[in-house]
Amino acid sequence: MKHILRAILLSIVVGLAAAMDNLSTAERSAETCGDPDDTLAWYRLYNANLVTYSYTTDVPLVTTLILGNGYALQTIMGMVFVTQEESTVPCYFLSSPALEDNFVTINATERDVAIANGYALLPALQTYIYPSAICGSIPMYRLYKSAQTLNFFTTSESERLSAISSGGFSDLGIAGYVLPAGVAASC
Ligand SMILES: *[C@@H]1O[C@H](CO)[C@@H](O)[C@H](O)[C@H]1NC(C)=O
Ligand SMILES: *[C@@H]1O[C@H](CO)[C@@H](O)[C@H](O)[C@H]1NC(C)=O
């Protein structure tokens, strides 16, 4: 009888601990995400003359790139932070006018290698994104066409597949995770 009671008590304690563990996991997940209301739309632009993509949340810069620099607006990649929030990491923006290439990376080693190879780090274009699929974020794919030293990023699975099958790009995997376009509260 004593053994049975002890076994019952033990199972209650274990169950309680598991339930509390779940509770704290749920509480933590809300706390460890950035506030979607703080995100901005991340625009992708393309310059067909330079064969260069660019990415920015800065609307006046989008206008300048279109009106003065031969870029066309292509899409909104997703929603990103411009200051660091819970669980996000810096997404560095690297630019090489000589190679006519821009790319982003969350990998600090790759950033440093690129700088050593003549790319400039542009802090004004740095964003903050998730390093894994948390907080409702979606993958941002990276593609590369070595013939043109052309980095290309997309959150569209169909665009990714057609870049590989007919655009001459190779698949460099997932560069990071952004919130899908339109999640921020409209204001
Ligand atoms: C804890 O969560 C998991 C999955 O979210 C669930 O399968 C499990 O039953 C939960 N445990 C308790 C004690 O609530
Ligand atoms: C970061 O970049 C370096 C240099 O390109 C590479 O060797 C390394 O595998 C990368 N790390 C990750 C986690 O992708």
User: In 3D, which of 108, 85, 102 has the Cα closest to residue 39?
Assistant: 85
Going by alpha carbons, the residue nearest to atom 14 of ligand 2 is: 107
Q: Is the CB of 19 under 6 A from ligand 1?
A: yes
Say if CB 175 and CB 160 are below 8 A apart.
no
Q: How confident is the prediction for the chain on average, in pLDDT?
A: 89
Q: Which pLDDT score is estimated for 9?
A: 72
Other C-beta atoms lying within 10 Å of the C-beta of residue 23:
10
How do residues 49-106 score in pLDDT, each as one tens digit? Answer: 999 999 999 999 999 999 999 999 999 999 999 999 999 999 999 999 999 999 999 9
pTM attached to this predicted model: 0.78
Q: Which pLDDT score is estimated for 186?
A: 45
Whose structure tokens read 């989008």?
62
Residue type, 37: D
Going by alpha carbons, the residue nearest to atom 12 of ligand 1 is: 19
Q: Which numbered atom of ligand 1 lies nearest the CA of 19?
A: 13
Euclidean distance between CA atoms 174 and 153, whole angstroms? 9
Which ligand lies nearest the alpha carbon of 105? 2
Say if CB 118 and CB 146 are below 8 A apart.
no
Which ligand lies nearest the alpha carbon of 16? 1
Three-state SS at 35:
coil
Q: Is the CB of 23 under 6 A from ligand 1?
A: no
Candidates 22, 23, 25, 27: which one to mutate for ligand 1, based on the most atoms within 8 Å of Cβ?
22
Cα distances (Å, whole numbers) of residue 19 to 15, 29, 30, 31, 32: 6, 16, 17, 19, 20
CA 107 – ligand 2 centroid, Å: 6
Q: Which pLDDT score is estimated for 7?
A: 72
User: In 3D, which of 44, 70, 68 has the Cα closest to residue 159?
Assistant: 44
